[in-house]
Amino acid sequence: MGAATVSGHCAPGFDGVREAFERNFREHGDVGAAVAVTVDGEPVVDLWGGHADAGRTRAWERDTLVNVYSTSKGMTALCAHLLVDRGELDLDAPVARYWPEFAQAGKQDVPVRWLLSHRAGLVAPRRPLPAGRAYDWDAVCATLAATEPWWQPGTAQGYHAVTFGYLVGEVVRRITGQSLGAFLRSEIAGPLGARVFIGTPAEEHASCADMVGQLDEARLAEQFPGAPKPPFTSIADHPLAVLMLALTSIPTGDVNSAVYRSAEIPAGNAHASAHGLATVYGALASGRLVGPATLEAMRRSQSLPGEPDLTLDALAPGGASLRWGLGYMLNQGQAGPNPLAFGHGGAGGSYAFADPENRLSYAYTMNRYGGGTTGTDPRNGGLVAAVYRALEQTRS
């Protein structure tokens, strides 16, 4: 911990965000990080600082990319919604309309909507996949297509931590003929000039920060001592069964490796800059990516009031009671005061969201593995609070 050199700019009135960002290095252990905010599509905060490696030999730059874990899901969901907006994807149609093999094991009537809202019951294959299989797209999708759901689809929600990306990504691929990562670059990130990749080109690997700490079996064993490993016969086998299934059944390996960075694992291996994520969410917040009806549908709750999340509630005493939109976490305070803001967080602490009512977007990326997926990491909390204080002051 300690001071870090911070570069970039803040618009007049947003200096409090710089102070909160600097405080993250002094008080919350950030090694390298960036934060970006846009209002009306224009950058009002674009800061970066610290180091891109544990040895503190490489400075974090404006264009530094970093693995953002499940913050990736916001980008993956957006690809699907772009197709909805174009009339090429019907969320209430059976997945099997687009992906016929998915109809196996009683899933012939499961609608696309349940993939996006974590209600399909496909948190994992029935038996864990071997190391390295995560990088074989066709093999994973074939396995999931043949998998019997862990609960009756539609009756419960449970965060599909890794499978989400394959499920939604395969629907996108069947419609467009492009992989999820290629579609993201050609239709969204590329035209916006946003540094966001799912399947990071080899020539960009030198720009990638190393994660300092990562989500792996050792971390899970430390956090959940005594938790058994899959396979399970049912989700009733252990109170942590759904969580362990979701996090360990498709092992992805070292997130700092070249093979991981190059792969497409759309639920969790986007490599992005904060500026890139804020640019995409800024375009979304200002109505430049999808029309008003699609935007409203994306953030309409798919959760029942007080409904538990079978995966994530294990992470929080008393339950997280997360509310899901269509591929997005709906705001419960982690994205500021507007209850209609929506986005997604990632394991370790990254977070990004859109606030259309305030025409605002926000993204925080970092490489020191800290808090969880839901945006409740104190580093993110301090930054978001500072953003909205500044916004209120500049508008008063």
What are the chain's domains? 6-76+189-395 (3.40.710.10)
Q: H-type helices in the chain, by residue range? A: 15-27, 72-85, 95-98, 112-116, 137-146, 163-176, 180-184, 190-192, 217-223, 241-248, 258-262, 274-285, 292-298, 378-395
Amino acid (1-letter code) at residue 16: G
Per-residue confidence in pLDDT tens, the chain, 396 aa: 567 899 999 999 999 999 999 999 999 999 999 999 999 999 999 999 999 999 999 999 999 999 999 999 999 999 999 999 999 999 999 999 999 999 999 999 999 999 999 999 999 999 999 999 999 999 999 999 999 999 999 999 999 999 999 999 999 999 999 999 999 999 999 999 999 999 999 999 999 999 999 888 888 888 888 888 899 999 999 999 999 999 999 999 999 999 999 999 999 999 999 999 999 999 999 999 999 999 999 999 999 998 999 998 877 655 556 899 999 999 999 999 999 999 999 999 999 999 999 999 999 999 999 977 888 899 999 999 999 999 999 987
Amino acid (1-letter code) at residue 99: W
**Which residue bears the tokens 């907006």?**
85
Q: At what angle do helices 163-176 and 137-146 cross, to 10 degrees?
A: 100
Token pair for residue 219?
Answer: 């971390």
DSSP state for residue 134 in the 8-state scheme: G
**What are the CA-CA distances from residue 83 to residues 102, 245, 278, 323 (Å)?**
19, 30, 21, 24
Strand partners, 157: 309
Global model pTM greater than 0.75: yes
By DSSP bridging, strand 360-366 and strand 351-355 are antiparallel
DSSP state for residue 198 in the 8-state scheme: S
- Tally of CA atoms within 13 A in the half-sphere of 371 that contains its CB: 22
Report the alpha-carbon distance of residue 119 to residue 160 in Å, rounded.
9
Token pair for residue 65?
Answer: 């990319």
Report the alpha-carbon distance of residue 132 to residue 56 in Å, rounded.
30
What is the model's pLDDT at position 374? 86
Backbone angles phi, psi at 94, to 5 degrees: -60, 140
Report the alpha-carbon distance of residue 45 to residue 48 in Å, rounded.
10
Amino acid (1-letter code) at residue 189: A
Strand partners, 355: 360
Q: Residue 227 CA to chain centroid, in angstroms?
A: 25
Count of CB atoms situated within 10 Å of the CB of 375? 26
